[in-house]
Chains A and B, each alone.
Chain A
Amino acid sequence: MTPVRGYRLPTLLLVVFLVGCMGSDGARAQGRAELDSLLQEGEYDQAIEVLQDQMGGSHPPDLVSQLAEVLMDVGRLDEAETLLQEGIGENPSNAYLGLLVGRVLRDTGRLQEALATFTEVEELGTGGDALMARLHRGELLLRTGEQEAALAIFDRLIDIYNSSASLSSREFLAVARAVRHLEFTNSALLQDALRAYDKALAVNPNNLEAHLGVGMLFVRTYQTSDARDAFREVLNRRSKDPRALLGIALAAQVEGSNQAGDLADQALEVNPNLVPALVLRARLRLAGEDLEGAEEDLSTALEVDPTSSEALGVLAAARYLVDRTDEFEELTARALEINPRDSSYFLTVADLVSTRRFYAQAVEFSDRGITLDSLAWAAYGAKGLNQLRTGEIAEGRRNLEIAFAGDPYNLWFKNTLDLLDTMDEFEEQESELISVLVDPEDGEALATYMLEIGERAYESLSARYGYRPVTPVRVEAFRRSADFSVRTVGLAGLGALGVAFGTVVAMDSPAARGPEGYHWASTLWHEMAHVVHLGMTDHRVPRWLSEGLAVHEERLAGPGWGSRPGLPFFAAYHEDRLRPPSELSQSFVRPRFPEEVGFAYTLGSLVSEWIESEWGFDALKGMLEGYGEGLSHEGVLERELGLDLKVFDRQFDQWLRQRYRGAFAAAEAVIELRETEREDRSDPTWLEERITRSPQDVESRLALARILLEEEKLDEAEVQLVEARDIFPENPNPQGPNRLLANIRQEQGNVVGATEALEAHLAIVAEDYRGNLQLADLREEQGELLAATLALERAIQVYPFEIPLHERLADLYRELNDTNGEVRERRVVLALKPVDRTGALYELSEALHLADELEEARQTVLSALELAPRFPEAQELLLRIISDSGASGP
């Protein structure tokens, strides 16, 4: 048996050996599966423990790299570095470990060390690791301003791609990233980058870096839906991957979505040291005037990576915005020392200062970026966009064209240039103070009134604040809301109706919104208030005060102008869902629910009203001056009101609750109902019981009144409406008590009572177009022609495009012998392109004749006769005009 034993032993040993190997492979496979599961669920801490357990005290390179990657994913970079160094100590020729070390060094700002490490890795190996090391080396050279050397590396990577028969997934990935870096030389390369990413994924669909790369590419080209799909591919495999979460946050930011901040928070929960996420959140905080929060994030980011250009740029912007110019210069010097060609640093600063409305400064900073890098298309674009806001239209357009030529994927550039082409056709009406540009379809019908309101606003606000903005103030009105959106592109949290950039105002035309619910005249007044406030504070007025004061000014300008707090506002306030005044600016950039932005406007206006009523207008003006001098919130409040932030919030709260006692009572009833009972507002019995139990329930009283109206029980309905009105007299509900009372009284033939109720309603809800027309009817019925004209003028301030309104107003002015008024109205009728143009020309000619404008009257009636040579009345008018001119005719 010995020979058998002799033969068998090696075999046996071999079998044992093989079984042993299979056993440990099996255990590995099971461990891998468990690890994947943990990573898929985002259980990073547990995954780290599993890997540490598997490693025991040794450093097998595959486990070292896996563990190091997970540690890097969650931002534990020091631990990752230590582990990797230990791993390299035992496996000095492992290129992948070296690559990871290089990344840690890079991500912690040790750029020269990283460069050296990547060079070593490149020399070490072949294949994906070496190619990736080369890529990283190129990226670092780019990052430190060695552009030519970097481009040479990227070009070489393309050569490898073009000359190789097959590449690995990681090799394709390296090529894709290299091509992306070349896009500023030729934007068409973005397609090639995408192709390379696709190939990387074709070879390995689980290449997370490739998915992330695709996602970021789509963010870059504004294809945010495709971007999100790519990031979700990562999240399907790693449900809490911080870089994928960040990617979705960046997509949200591009879309101007309010969710960007929340998504950045989610990414930072997993990796609190993720520098791009920290910087994103800091940007948002800065835009919301939360300097402290922004500095906290930036401090963390720069601790992790002191060389982060974007972090330095955001911090520099924060310093600049509070006039800490020395520190700004220091940071600039630091950034340029790292990369003397860092145009993106200045672009970051430009972007941020523009979100705080420092548009002229944004132009300057963009220009500095262009000076450093003449191919910085984004900088040209930023310069162009901001020049459009400062009124430098031609120059802005020129820079945008350069930007778009270099970056045809930029939707903002394209849309803005398209808009400028559209605006070439706009009609302009100008005075010394105001220049109005309107869509040709709106034409004189809108421009005439905008000019009037604009001039009134300018004179009134200038006198009140003692500040005259540079003239003419340019006012643009857009017939399509989409065009208005393009005009305000890149500026999140701005008003949906209008915006003031300084001495340039953009707003929706009433044609964009129709005759219901949009008061263009008060919107224009609001924006003109911004023009004054921005100018007198050098754009330093904080958002909450800027918007609040503008709404307050609207309310002072005309009855029913400016938004008023309704029951939803009071309910939200009572439920503590609104930020207090000291934090109000945050509501505009990081609203926590959809209505919060609108409520912030209202709350700001109430704070302004409170300040003026308690301390006087001089305090308001003093506050603006304080902000203009660069004082902080605390400093301004202390100086002008003698209050600190907490007291400020508290005293305002007390005032508000007292001022709107009835409204709060009604709101409490709403909340109580919502929380305790099922509503049945269609059942009158239920409503009556409800009102008995809760007499302050205005909504239930209104609902009951409507039912009673349908049943033609007018007297009973009136009782409910009067009660509802008395509980909350300033109810801005468009179908509120006063409105319904007016209808009832009109039906009862009580013209005087209906008029009173309608006036009371319109004194709160000026944007009720039909209401204003109805009031004009009532006034005319009572022979009060002047009051009727006022009602029609107020209707025009909502919607000026209906011909019958202007014809009617013109007729009234004729009866009142107001020749100027009649001429204006007849001109507008003509501008609205009536079917009967001949008749409109004739009427205008008659009005001009009455106004003694004989030459224009003559020309106008000749235009009528040109269309209708035998028009009898026009012929007679022509002869009268000739006679009155003392001429015998031509």
Chain B
Amino acid sequence: MRRYIPILTALLIATPQCLEALLEAQETRLLIVSGLGGDPQYEEQFVGWGLEMADAAEAAGIPPENILFLAEDPEAAPGEIDARSTREEIERAVQELRESTAPEDRVLILLIGHGSGSGSDSRVSIPGPSLRASEYAFLLEQLSPRLVALVNVASGSGDFIPVLAGDGRIVVTATRSSRQRNAAIFGGYFVGAFAGDGADLDRDERISLLEAFEYARLETDRYYNDRGLIPSETALLEDRMEGSGSEEPGEEDEVGLLAARFFLESVVPTVITGDDETAERLRQLYVEQARLEEEVTLMGQREGTMDPEAYRATLEVVLVELARTGSEIRALEEGR
């Protein structure tokens, strides 16, 4: 134990105050783009998914003003859909995101609709001329260095991955290539992951992008298996800049590490109720909790290079501290 204290101490000391500031400042913005349905069934479905996602985001603490929902017909949900999902509106939305967010903020873009085209010409059908994948890539460039997740749940969406993969980007598609053209059901399960609690595998009461992906992937598989159907869609997740995507992100291929840390929720809730002292204590605890979680994640990445006993001992220190922090948070929250 004595041998390893210096490392632990070093970790604690090395955490800069700016990290605290960073953890506090992270905001999440959500842009939902729902395209042309083509018939009433899909029009309703696409708007429904968008609304469900917006509601889940609000429940996760994203203020309504940080959620923008563009759809084929704003009259389909007045007051909920902000504008028509045209090319111009999308570009304007991205511009606005660029201007109103800080570099440390996160952006989640959700594309819902019918896919078409292939390669850099892949697109999701929207009213008027559609944006191609290459054009989305350009738009995402404008948001750099923000952490951006683009989730395309349209049919034939797979070719978005090689075009959009990049540094600080998470790309999720409902299909593995443009050839999987049948209507995809992945999107419904994806938004359902945020709306329900079945996806919270690590029991931290929030859903990461990775958890949502896993949940939706498994539920999609189950849908086809239960009906004796051959799966016609294979979702992919890419967050390592490799441009190929993974069907089952996990430890072996190290895909998903970034997605595992992408949440809708902010580290510190935007609004903390209670008296000033409690609120301030809670704020400190939230930040401390996030820091300790980051610690656990970093330790996990270094596990293979450490002596197993030393790893366990060091991890225990952090986990106990995290437990104490979590317990105090709950006590204060319940006491409010």
Contacts and interface: CB of A to CB of B under 8 A. Distances in A.
B319 A865 contact: yes
A874 B323 CA distance: 8
B313 A870 contact: no
Contact of B201 (A866, A868, A882): A868
B307 interface: no
A872 to B, nearest CB: 6
Contact of B203 (A870, A878, A879): A870
Contact of A862 (B293, B312, B330): B312
B289 interface: yes
B277 interface: no
B87 interface: no
A873 B330 CA distance: 11
Contacts of B292: 869
Contacts of A882: 320
Contacts of A874: 203, 323
A868 B203 CA distance: 6
Q: Is the interface of A mostly helix, strand, loop or mixed?
A: helix
B313 A871 contact: no
Nearest to A858: B316
Nearest to A865: B319
Contacts of A876: 323, 327
Given A862-B312, A862-B319, A890-B320, A867 B327 contact: no
A879 B328 CA distance: 11
B326 A875 contact: yes
A872 B319 contact: no
Interface in A838-881: 838-839, 862, 865-876, 878-879
Given A878-B323, A889-B320, A869 B204 contact: yes
Interface string B201-233: 111110000000000000000000000000000
A871 B315 contact: no
B202 A875 contact: no
A446 B285 CA distance: 45
B327 A869 contact: no
A836 interface: yes
Given A870-B289, A876-B327, A862 B316 contact: yes
Nearest to B200: A868
Contact of A879 (B202, B313, B324): B324
A875 to B, nearest CB: 4
A868 B322 contact: no
A873 B203 CA distance: 9
B149 to A, nearest CB: 21
Interface in B172-191: none
Interface residues of A, number: 21
Interface in B278-301: 289, 292-293, 296, 300
Given A875-B327, A878-B320, A878-B323, A868 B202 contact: yes
B86 to A, nearest CB: 41
B59 interface: no
Given A866-B315, A876-B327, A879-B323, A838 B201 contact: yes
Interface string B300-318: 1000000000001101110
Contacts of A872: 203, 205, 326, 330
Given A865-B322, A875-B323, A878-B319, A836 B296 contact: no
Given A889-B320, A890-B313, A890-B316, A871 B327 contact: no
Query: Which of B202, B204, B313 counts the most chain A CB atoms within 10 A?
Result: B202
B319 A869 contact: yes
Interface in A342-398: none
Contact of A866 (B296, B317, B320, B327): B296
Nearest to B290: A870
A872 B334 CA distance: 13
A872 B317 CA distance: 17
Nearest to A889: B320
Contacts of B319: 862, 865-866, 869, 878
A286 to B, nearest CB: 54
8 smallest A-B Cβ distances: which pairs?
Answer: A870-B204, A868-B202, A871-B203, A875-B323, A868-B203, A889-B320, A875-B326, A869-B296
23 contacts: A862-B316, A862-B319, A866-B300, A866-B319, A867-B202, A869-B293, A869-B322, A870-B202, A870-B203, A870-B205, A870-B322, A871-B204, A872-B205, A874-B323, A875-B326, A878-B319, A878-B320, A878-B323, A879-B320, A879-B323, A889-B320, A890-B313, A890-B316
Given A866-B300, A870-B326, A876-B327, 8 more contacts: A862-B312, A862-B316, A867-B202, A869-B202, A870-B289, A873-B203, A875-B322, A878-B320
Interface of A: 836, 838-839, 862, 865-876, 878-879, 882, 889-890
Interface of B: 1, 201-205, 289, 292-293, 296, 300, 312-313, 315-317, 319-320, 322-324, 326-327, 330
